[in-house]
Structure 1
Amino acid sequence: MVSPSAKEVFIQGITKDGRTFRPSDWAERLAGVMCSFRPGGPQPGSHLSYSPWCVPTVVNGIKCVVVSSELREAEVMAWDFVMNFARDNELQVAEACLVPDVPPPALPRK
């Protein structure tokens, strides 16, 4: 169960019994289905990119889909769809926060 205060949820490509979920492109497929759900609603060409609210990624070698709570606020049925997908396929779900990559500070010149 996901707490209402969670900002992001990671749906992991590992089942509750530890097996790798198949097919191998499941994360891209799920995120592709959700591409129309985005800030401002669907736009021309939005089917060509992932929604910022549902993004496939890899964390520690495990395929995941990061789902933002903003999806739940904008369209609860879309949120329910992805959460039911995870539940129906017995995928592990974790509340977390994706930390953006920050470049290391520049070294001082001598």
Structure 2
Amino acid sequence: MVSPSSKEVFIQGITHDGKTFRPSDWAERLAGVMSSFRPGGARPGSHLSYSPWCIPTTLNGVKCVVVHRDLQGHEPMAWDFVINFARDNNLQVAEACLLPDVPPLPKP
């Protein structure tokens, strides 16, 4: 399902049979559960922000959770949890890397 060569895995809010996954805030809920898994470990107040290893987003109108491969190296059970969440809920998973936003070129 997931190869070790990609840096990030995108869990998409679309099932394999094309249905939108519910509830509509599933991505935020999953990322919230994973908020304490972060570089340096959990710290006071870390539950108030998302982990850089598990970020909810919307891509092309589809809710997604971007899971960074570093999570697997630091917290294998947490990695298994998110991958099994996708599998158990029949969600589509894509391997890729999230590109940073590039500012537009100045007009001549």
Q: TM-score, normalized by length of structure 1?
A: 0.95
**Number of matched pairs:** 108
For structure 2, the 5+ residue unaligned runs are: none
Q: SS in structure 2 opposite 1:92?
A: strand
Offset of residue 98 of structure 1:
0.7
- In structure 2, the partner of 1:40 is 40
Q: Distance in 1 between matches of 2:26 and 2:100?
A: 23
Q: What is the identity percentage for the equivalent residue pairs of Structure 1 and Structure 2?
A: 79
Q: Secondary structure at the match of 1:10?
A: strand
RMSD: 0.8
| Residue 105 of structure 1: how far off its partner (Å) | 2.4
Q: Does 1:70 align with 2:54?
A: no
- Structure 1 residue ranges, 4+ long, deviating more than 4 angstroms after superposition: none
The aligned runs of 1:1-110 (5 Å cut-off) are: 1-108=1-108
> Separation in 2 of the partners of 1:56 and 1:50?
8
Between the aligned partners of 1:22 and 1:47, the Cα distance in structure 2 is 23
Distance in 2, matches of 1:23 and 1:46, equals: 24
Query: Partner letter of residue 101 of structure 1?
Result: D
* CA distance, structure 1, for counterparts of residue 80 and residue 6 of structure 2: 15
CA distance in structure 2 between the aligned counterparts of 1:48 and 1:19, rounded to whole angstroms: 31
| Aligned-pair CA distance for 1:106 | 2.6
Q: Which has the larger radius of gyration?
A: 1
**1:74-104 CA deviation, whole Å, 9 max, x = no partner?**
0000000000000000000000111111111
Q: Which runs of 5+ in 1 are unaligned?
A: none
Q: Distance in 2 between matches of 1:6 and 1:26?
A: 24
Amino acid aligned to 1:80:
D
Q: CA deviation at 1:107?
A: 3.0
Q: Could you say what secondary structure the match of 2:66 adopts?
A: strand
Q: Distance in 2 between matches of 1:50 and 1:99?
A: 18
